[in-house]
Amino acid sequence: MTGSVYCIGEARGGVVKIGFTAGDPAVRLTALQTGSPRPLRILGLMPGGLQDEARLHAEFANLAVSGEWFRDEGFCISNRFPDEIPNLRPGRRAKSPPKDAPKLAQWLYSNRVKSGDFAAYVGISHAYMSEIAKGKKTPGLSLALRIQQATGGEVSMTDWFAPEEPLSPLLDPRP
């Protein structure tokens, strides 16, 4: 049986449901919404069947919360879905950041993560995240660490806080 394998959740990086529907994913979203106290949305969608759903469940078994619900740590689940459905108008796509844009802006674009979703995941406002992604603000140490963890180390604390001189040979990450 073919249809759609979906990723539904509150936001990327939160708890998400990986499921299958032979019908309209929007109808499935409505059904799931009735049991959720928080607004849900379709975070990703791909053509597939029950075998594809089962394969994803097995792949992310270590992130299972309950049944078909999983922790989307580091966006590893939602990034597997090629199509992000909500809040996009047909034919409209985010502009790619300039080549000299901060590393975080480039990471958000290349991983198809919305800055608002990422902001919620690391616990800050969307406005503050936008300022950081544009290079207008610098995150504090604890936020830089959360960003490093959320991006799997692709955006590192040292992107903001590279010491000019090593503090000690034990603390210096440079060779």
| Tokens coding 96 | 């790619």
Q: What is residue 170's predicted lDDT score, i.e. its pLDDT?
A: 53
Which H or E run includes 26?
helix 25-33
**Are 110 and 123 within 8 A, CB to CB?**
no
Q: Is the pTM of this model over 0.85?
A: no
Q: What is residue 156's predicted lDDT score, i.e. its pLDDT?
A: 86
Which H or E run includes 108?
helix 103-110
CA 28, chain centre distance (Å) = 22
Per-position pLDDT tens, the chain of length 175: 678 888 888 766 678 899 998 888 878 888 888 888 888 888 888 888 899 899 999 999 999 999 999 988 766 676 777 654 443 223 334 677 888 888 998 888 877 777 777 787 777 888 899 899 989 999 988 888 888 877 778 888 888 876 555 545 555 555 5
Q: What is residue 85's predicted lDDT score, i.e. its pLDDT?
A: 45
Per-residue CA distances from 168 to 8, 150, 171 (Å): 46, 27, 5
Beta bridge partners of 64: 70
- Domain parsing of the chain, residue ranges: 2-80, 103-159
Class of domain 103-159: mainly alpha
